[in-house]
Amino acid sequence: MNNQITSPSERKKKQITKLLIANRGEVAVRIIRTAKERGTATAIVYANQEIHALACELSDEAYTLDGITPEETYNSAQKIIACAQRCGAQAIHPGYGFLSEDPTFAQAVEDAGIIWIGPNAKTIRSLGDKIQARTLAANNQVRTIPGISQALNNSQKDLSAVKKFAQLHGLPIVMKQADSGGGRGITVLETSDDIKRFFSERAHTLTSTNTFVEKLFRHCRHVETQCLRDSFGTFAVLDTRDCSVQRRNQKVVEEAPAPFLSDECLSTIKRWSQALFEATDYVGAGTCEFLIDEAGKPYFLEVNPRLQVEHTVTEEITGVDLVEEQLRIAEGHAMSALALRYAVGSGNSTGHSIEVRVTSEDPANDLMPSTGTITCLVWPGGPGVRIDSAMRAGDTIGGDFDSLIAKIIVHAPTRNQAIARMKRALDECQIQGIPTSLPLLRHIIAHPDFQGSTRADTTLTSPDTKQNDAMTALFGVYTKWLEESGVFTQISTDLLEHDKALSSSLSACAVTAPCETVNAALPNLSLPQTSSTGKTILPNDKPFNRQRAIIEVNGQRMELTFPQGLFGNGDPHSASPLRPRQILRDRRASSTVDNAGSPASTDAIAPMQATVIHIAVTTGQTVKEGELLVVLEAMKMEKYIYASTDATIAEVCVSAGTTVQSGQMMVRLDVNSDQSPPSADSLSTNQPLTTETGAKS
């Protein structure tokens, strides 16, 4: 408890009667539901292509951001604040990702007289930069991962410093961007040649970001604490989470509480969490993340000053609504009585909860992001099953935003029972029309390494190293487990076909179009008329069927219900649904693959819909096989495109910042006639260095 903070009687409470949600997808839906339960009106902002989104339908009001890209919409601080002012919202909730960790946006919100749901800009700034956060942790006796806590430049001096660090601490090492999060901006360097290549090939990264280096722990676990601190200085840890099952540094499976940890480790990370929150005068909900090495020794990783994607498992075992706690604290109230129990040490979590992230990523194609329309969607149900999603049958997943379709969360009395419940839930879940990660998730949950020992429901408390080693042996999962254990390869080759056969046995589901005919009827609103004889003529008693359409009026999303046939497209008395008009596809630029034939296999072709973030070559330049051509970014993944053979750059067909479609020509190569054509497995998507990127989540 911080005694310097003002007492409750001196605090001024601020009631939030309308909340603007500056986000999209399942997190927007999640926040809307809590707001509705507490009687708070909601407003949502949306990109043009998401006018039919579930969040827009559930929210009391919805306002267009008049754009389609992230930068035009959910990353536009000016547009979002203008929408909040327009609709009279007292507060803005940023969700996670986009601007949720942007101190400049947080400050702008507060400067506009709007309540920011989260810690203040100063706190975000001190924790958002990973280099500053490492220094802050070290100054508060919180152990950090060995590293170089300063920004690196593309210089010989810094190259030598990184080489020296690698010699001292051993390879592999990891290069990180100080202002990134959610698994993005991370490059693993396995050899000394990788270090030299990083400094030569990734100059654009070093010059545009604060990049630093850390030792890479191979067999570590990712464990975090869910923390709350209110404006009166009360601090609480709402138990722990384990997020060790990861792919490309993105969390795949999360569970609470974190299993197989010693009492000493638990006590240490809770103590460190409180020290970090109090050192930054943190007010709100946040997460402290740690790496646990093979000996059970914890190291500070980072603090996420926002709601986490995996907050749901904490809610399931504690009963605490974390969004409600965020709103309470932002209004100036103390945390709830239920949360306060964890602050005074009397809170007891109940049972075990597991969450899996279902994404539109293809396990048969290295989990590459996929786009398309969901033609069938069947969610699991039953006791202890929770679905957090904003997707419905008929919804289209594009490449503009992340690939998350849903989170499936289960809760059960024990971890073993939670695993069994998740198996059942995943077997019930069916998604058609687009590749998903479901086959991989089913395999992970059933794997002995994830299930651990049959002692999974016991508590091991000895703090000595020998006992820590025994606990580590019980749980075979670590952050690089999917890549290094062969699990991912196995599911890609052995289980995917089985899953496809299982999915194909499900009959197709009906899809409801955004503009639909509703079977309910409106009364005939024609006024009674009087004949020449003075007799009243009643209107036709046959009711009109009604039609629903989504429209925008002065930039605000509204739903218009009208008699079918009002605009001359259908019999108003017919119950037959109207066929929605097909949206015409725009013709692509001349640089796309056209009917003239397929491009040469040596050319650099976009493997997916993505944004071009860097062009490494110019027209007329000569390149060697394996030399970097283009860097793409899509759905939390950075893709490096390399030359498949020695050649001359004949044409650069795209520019940085543009969006490319799958199959689109990016760089045309001119290969000498005596140059042998590349083999099928040497095409231009080779990626020697492991690099991941994406929106924060």
Identify which has the larger pLDDT, 319 or 660. Answer: 319
Mean of per-residue pLDDT scores for the chain:
82
Dump the DSSP string for 419-484: HHHHHHHHHH-EEESS--SHHHHHHHHH-HHHH--TTTTS-----SHHHHHHHHHH----TTHHHH
Output the CA–CA distances (angstroms, integers) from residue 504 to 112, 366, 497, in the order listed.
53, 22, 10
320, 312, 383, 381: which is closest to 353 by C-alpha? Answer: 312
Can you tell me the distance from the alpha carbon of 292 to that of 239, in angstroms, rounded to the nearest whole number?
A: 16
Can you tell me the distance from the alpha carbon of 292 to that of 258, in angstroms, rounded to the nearest whole number?
A: 11
Residue-wise pLDDT for 263-314, tens only, equals 999 999 999 999 999 999 999 999 999 999 999 999 999 999 999 999 999 9
Residue 399 phi/psi, 5° resolution? -100, 10
Which two structure tokens, joined as six digits, stand for 623? 């390149």
Fill in the DSSP letter of residue 509. Answer: P
pLDDT the model gives residue 151? 87
pLDDT the model gives residue 165? 95
SS3 170: coil
83, 98, 121, 93: which is closest to 33 by C-alpha? Answer: 93
Residue-wise pLDDT for 571-620, tens only, equals 444 444 443 333 333 323 333 333 333 444 689 998 877 888 889 899 99
Q: Evaluate if residue 501 carries a pLDDT over 60.
A: no
List the single range of 308-322, 339-353, 440-454, 508-522 with lowest mean pLDDT: 508-522
Handedness of CA 563, 568, 574, 579 (dihedral sign): negative
Average pLDDT score over residue span 456-482? 60
Q: Which residues contact 627 (CB under 8 A, 6 or more apart)?
A: 616, 617, 642, 643
pLDDT the model gives residue 545? 62
Asked if 402 contacts 694 with a C-beta cutoff of 8 angstroms, the reply is yes
Give CA 28 to chain center in angstroms: 12
Q: Evaluate if residue 504 carries a pLDDT over 60.
A: no
Can you tell me the distance from the alpha carbon of 508 to that of 432, in angstroms, rounded to the nearest whole number?
A: 8
Q: Provide Rg for the chain, Cα atoms.
A: 27
pLDDT band at 657 (very low <50, low <70, confident <90, very high): confident
Single-letter amino acid, residue 634: A
pLDDT the model gives residue 595? 34
Which two structure tokens, joined as six digits, stand for 647? 């050649």
Strand residue runs (E) in 336-384: 352-359, 361-362, 368-369, 372-373, 376-378
pTM for the whole thing?
A: 0.80
List the single range of 395-399, 430-434, 530-534, 604-608 with lowest mean pLDDT: 530-534
Order of strands, edge to edge, in the sheet holding 173-177? 147-152, 211-215, 173-177, 186-189, 690-692
pLDDT band at 686 (very low <50, low <70, confident <90, very high): very low
List the single range of 163-177, 627-641, 665-679 with lowest mean pLDDT: 665-679
Identify which has the larger pLDDT, 82 or 578. Answer: 82
Dump the DSSP string for 332-346: TPPPPHHHHHHHTT-
pLDDT the model gives residue 224? 98
Please tell me whether the peptide bond between 257 and the residue prior to it is cis, using omega within 30 degrees of 0. yes
Average pLDDT score over residue span 104-109? 98
List the single range of 113-122, 490-499, 661-670 with lowest mean pLDDT: 490-499
